[in-house]
Amino acid sequence: MIDTITQKISLHEERTWFIADPHAGDDAIRRHCDRPFPSVEALDAEIWKNL
Protein backbone atom coordinates (compact mmCIF):
# COMPACT_ATOMS: atom_id res chain seq x y z
CA MET A 1 0.00 0.00 0.00
CA ILE A 2 1.25 3.51 -0.76
CA ASP A 3 0.29 6.25 1.68
CA THR A 4 -0.54 9.13 -0.67
CA ILE A 5 0.18 11.74 2.00
CA THR A 6 3.66 10.58 3.07
CA GLN A 7 4.48 8.65 -0.15
CA LYS A 8 5.70 5.74 1.95
CA ILE A 9 5.18 2.16 0.91
CA SER A 10 3.93 -0.33 3.49
CA LEU A 11 5.16 -3.83 2.71
CA HIS A 12 3.58 -7.08 3.76
CA GLU A 13 6.38 -9.60 3.35
CA GLU A 14 4.17 -12.58 2.64
CA ARG A 15 2.19 -10.87 -0.14
CA THR A 16 4.21 -8.01 -1.61
CA TRP A 17 5.81 -8.75 -4.95
CA PHE A 18 7.93 -6.59 -7.21
CA ILE A 19 8.52 -7.58 -10.80
CA ALA A 20 10.55 -6.10 -13.63
CA ASP A 21 9.38 -5.76 -17.20
CA PRO A 22 8.13 -9.21 -18.27
CA HIS A 23 8.09 -8.08 -21.93
CA ALA A 24 4.44 -9.03 -22.38
CA GLY A 25 3.38 -8.53 -25.97
CA ASP A 26 7.00 -8.26 -27.12
CA ASP A 27 7.56 -10.72 -29.94
CA ALA A 28 11.12 -9.48 -30.49
CA ILE A 29 12.21 -10.66 -27.02
CA ARG A 30 10.74 -14.09 -27.77
CA ARG A 31 12.67 -14.39 -31.04
CA HIS A 32 15.97 -12.77 -30.04
CA CYS A 33 16.29 -14.55 -26.69
CA ASP A 34 15.22 -17.93 -28.08
CA ARG A 35 12.28 -18.25 -25.74
CA PRO A 36 10.62 -21.63 -26.35
CA PHE A 37 7.14 -20.46 -27.38
CA PRO A 38 5.53 -20.73 -30.81
CA SER A 39 3.98 -17.25 -30.57
CA VAL A 40 3.99 -14.10 -28.48
CA GLU A 41 0.47 -15.02 -27.34
CA ALA A 42 1.76 -18.32 -25.94
CA LEU A 43 4.59 -16.46 -24.17
CA ASP A 44 2.14 -13.95 -22.70
CA ALA A 45 -0.20 -16.72 -21.50
CA GLU A 46 2.72 -18.38 -19.67
CA ILE A 47 3.82 -15.09 -18.11
CA TRP A 48 0.32 -14.35 -16.74
CA LYS A 49 -0.17 -17.97 -15.61
CA ASN A 50 3.03 -17.80 -13.57
CA LEU A 51 2.17 -14.46 -11.99
Where does the pLDDT of residue 41 fall: very low under 50, low under 70, confident under 90, or very high at 90 and above?
Answer: very high
User: Does the structure show a pLDDT above 70 at 13?
Assistant: no
- What is residue 2's predicted lDDT score, i.e. its pLDDT? 58
Q: What is the mean pLDDT of residues 1-28?
A: 74
N-terminal to C-terminal alpha carbon distance within the chain: 19
Collapsed DSSP state (helix, strand, coil) of residue 9: strand
- What is residue 4's predicted lDDT score, i.e. its pLDDT? 65
Q: Which residues, in sequence order, are bridge partners of residue 2?
A: 9
- What is residue 1's predicted lDDT score, i.e. its pLDDT? 57
Where does the pLDDT of residue 21 fall: very low under 50, low under 70, confident under 90, or very high at 90 and above?
Answer: confident
Q: What is the mean pLDDT of residues 24-42?
A: 89
Q: Classify residue 43 as exposed, middle or buried by CB count within 10 Å of its CB (0-12, 13-18, 19+).
A: buried
